[in-house]
């Protein structure tokens, strides 16, 4: 499998392919051409072929792509079969909503625990996920395999918390603090989520349609 110098744009299209292929599987579609897949996704067939070529050869000329096999290949590239383990810090409104409604298992993640400082939520569970005191965080990380931490905490403590977690060995962050977190280590990966960016993009498109 080729993987050298994959652009961020290609990486960010992979989840879209996976989502579309999942939908096609659910609809009972057996095979699809790059042209038809492009029409479904509003992407050119040449762009799809170029993206897939970064990772190897998946289709057959004159046949197209086997939808189920391609979905499995894209899922493997995305790591959905790696059974990543995840914890959440901050079980306020946003954290609670994510635990209650987001289907982490569909993306290959198991949510093992959540942590908070509020006595109102410590000792409870949300959608089967136990909520512990933040004071138990360090020992939990030392005793368990944690691949990713979801941060839904105040901005004022975001970077300090991330820095401490990195010292504990955490290398992946799904960050909802609206602060652009960083680390000097290239091994630490952040996915910084900014809801306002998406809404402002929509605002631009509406203003310039």
Confidence (pLDDT) at 62: 66
- Binned at pLDDT 50, 70 and 90, residue 196 comes out as very high
Query: Per the structure block, which two tokens stand in for 100?
Result: 């209650």
Mean per-residue pLDDT, 150-161: 97
Mean pLDDT of the chain: 93
Q: What share of the chain is helix, strand, coil (3-state, %, to 5)?
A: 45, 20, 35
Mean per-residue pLDDT, 11-26: 96
Q: Residue 58 pLDDT more than 90? A: no
What pTM value is reported for the model? 0.88
The predicted-structure confidence for 80-131, as pLDDT tens digits, reads as follows 999 999 999 999 999 999 999 999 999 999 999 999 999 999 999 999 999 9
Confidence (pLDDT) at 57: 77
- Which residues are paired to 172 by β-bridges? 189
CA dihedral 65, 83, 26, 46 (to 10 degrees): -30
* Helices marked H in the chain: 8-26, 34-41, 45-53, 67-78, 93-101, 137-143, 158-167, 195-207
C-beta pairs of 170-174 under 8 Å, 24+ apart in sequence: 170/141, 170/146, 171/147, 172/84, 172/147, 172/148, 173/148, 173/149, 174/86, 174/148, 174/149, 174/150
- Binned at pLDDT 50, 70 and 90, residue 64 comes out as confident
Q: How far apart are CA 140 and CA 132, in angstroms?
A: 10
- Binned at pLDDT 50, 70 and 90, residue 63 comes out as confident
Q: How far apart are CA 166 and CA 153, in angstroms?
A: 16
Residue 77 sits at the vertex; the CA angle it makes with 191 and 129, to the nearest 5 degrees, is: 55
Query: Per the structure block, which two tokens stand in for 22?
Result: 């999942």
């Amino acid at each position: 499998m080729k993987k050298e110098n994959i652009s961020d744009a290609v990486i960010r299209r992979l989840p879209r392919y996976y989502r579309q292929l999942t939908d096609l599987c659910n609809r009972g579609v057996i095979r699809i051409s790059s042209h038809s897949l492009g029409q479904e996704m509003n992407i050119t067939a040449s762009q799809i072929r170029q993206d897939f070529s970064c990772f190897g050869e998946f289709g057959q000329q004159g046949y197209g792509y086997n939808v189920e096999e391609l979905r499995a290949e894209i899922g493997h590239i995305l790591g959905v079969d790696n059974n990543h383990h995840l914890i959440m810090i901050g079980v306020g409104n946003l954290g609670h909503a994510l635990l209650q409604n987001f289907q982490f298992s569909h993306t290959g993640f198991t949510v093992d625990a959540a942590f908070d400082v509020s006595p109102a939520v410590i000792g409870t569970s949300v959608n089967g996920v136990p909520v512990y005191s933040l004071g138990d965080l360090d020992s939990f990380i030392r005793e368990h395999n944690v691949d990713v931490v979801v941060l839904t905490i105040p901005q004022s403590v975001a970077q300090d918390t991330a820095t401490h977690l990195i010292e504990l060995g955490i290398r992946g962050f799904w960050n909802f603090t609206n602060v652009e977190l960083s680390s000097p280590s290239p091994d630490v990966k952040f996915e910084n989520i900014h809801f306002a960016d998406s809404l402002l993009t929509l605002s631009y498109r509406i203003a310039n349609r």
